[in-house]
Structures are given as structure tokens and as C-alpha cells.
Copies of this chain bind each other. A is one copy, B any other.
Amino acid sequence: KRQGIGEAIFCAQKSVAQINAALEMVVARRHPMLLTHLNVDSHAELTADLRDMLDYDPVSRTAFLRFDTECDEPVRDMVAVVAAGTSDAGPAMEAVRTLNFNGVDPTVIFDVGVAGLWRLLDRVDDLSRHPIIIAVAGMDAALPTVVGGLVPGAVIAVPTSTGYGAARGGDTALHACLSSCASGVVVCNIDNGYGAACAALRILKASRQIPS
């Protein structure tokens, strides 16, 4: 791919037959492939042979299809993924897995929502050591703003659809992140951990063009 990010199949609006067909073409080419939005039921119904080739994670609803047994040493300490609550684990893990698939091993810090601020404050020094931070939060999504105010790195917000009523399926979190009073926080679509990871990969790649 022109952008240097491994290819991915978005499975949400595809039938099992369509996913099987796509995977067969991929296997024929022996091309590594990431599958996202592959829910537990669709995964279970895939052709057994294909399913056996997949490394599947139900929390993030992602699967890896890989052909190389040997890998490069993963990139560490460059990206941190912080999440507010356990309900945000799905999109947060989607970011983690997308990074893993592309050779990056992020630092993962969960359950540091701002209603219990001290848990987050305990991790500020650790966070500050990372050039790129993906902050995942739903409902009022205060986390990316607080993080953006505490650390100098690139902060990528992932608003999530957790909550009910006035949370509006993630709309409130999304618009809160976009209106963040911390300058320079950038935002991805609701629940889009995949996109946040791709943005981090773009930045890692871009940094090679930037003289230190």
C-alpha cells in the first residue's frame, strides 16, 4: 500500500461468504492481512481451514493472517495506548492489535478515567516518555483533554460509543474531543482504534523524514 501500512479488511458490512472469498484470494497471494470488525459469530462461521490460519482476538474483534514465521523486533516505547474504562477496551485493543500487526508494541495503560484522577496522575511521567499517545475514552471523554494538557507528545483521541442517553452513541465524546481545550489534540472517528493506530504509524514513518 502506498501509505506503507499493512492492508486490512473491514468485515462489518460483509457476509461470511464475502469474507471467505476475500481471505481465499489473500491466501493465494500469501499476503499478510489484518481483519477488523470481525465479530465472534462471523469468525465462528468462517471455513474451518481459513479460520485455523487466523490469530483472532474477540475483544478487539481483529484477526491476523500471516505467512512469515519470523518477525522484526517490535518497536517499543514509542506509542502508549491509554483508556478510561473497561468498557473502552474494544477500540483500545483494536489500536493495540493494529500496531502489533505493523510491528509496533505499545505501552498499554487501562482504567485511568478522570473521575478517579489519581490513577492517571500516577502514570504521567511514564506517559511523557512516549512521543505518541492514543487516548481512548467515551461518555464525556475528558481523558484526552487532561492527557493533552499534561504531556508534550502527539495526542490522538479515540472517542468511544460507551454510555447511554446524552452520550448519544459516541457523538458527545467525539465533539468533546474536537472541542478540547488542550491545543493540538487530533481526533479519529468514534470507536476507530484502527484509524488511531494508522495515524501513529504515519507519524512514526514521517519522523524518519524529520531531522532531529
- Which chain A residues have a beta carbon within 8 Å of chain B's beta carbons? 2-5, 8, 10, 12-14, 18, 78, 84-87, 113-117, 129-132, 139-142, 145-146, 148-156, 161-168, 170-192, 194-210, 212
Contacts and interface: CB of A to CB of B under 8 A. Distances in A.
Given A140-B141, A146-B114, A152-B3, A184 B164 contact: no
Contacts of A174: 165-166, 178
How many copies of this chain? 8
25 contacts: A3-B182, A14-B86, A78-B209, A84-B181, A115-B182, A140-B142, A140-B179, A140-B180, A140-B181, A142-B145, A142-B146, A154-B203, A155-B202, A156-B186, A165-B179, A166-B179, A167-B175, A172-B176, A174-B178, A178-B190, A185-B195, A186-B187, A186-B188, A186-B199, A203-B206
In this complex, which of A129, A171, A172, A174 has the most chain B Cβ atoms within 10 angstroms of its Cβ? Answer: A172
A210 B140 contact: no
B172 A175 contact: yes
A178 B167 CA distance: 8
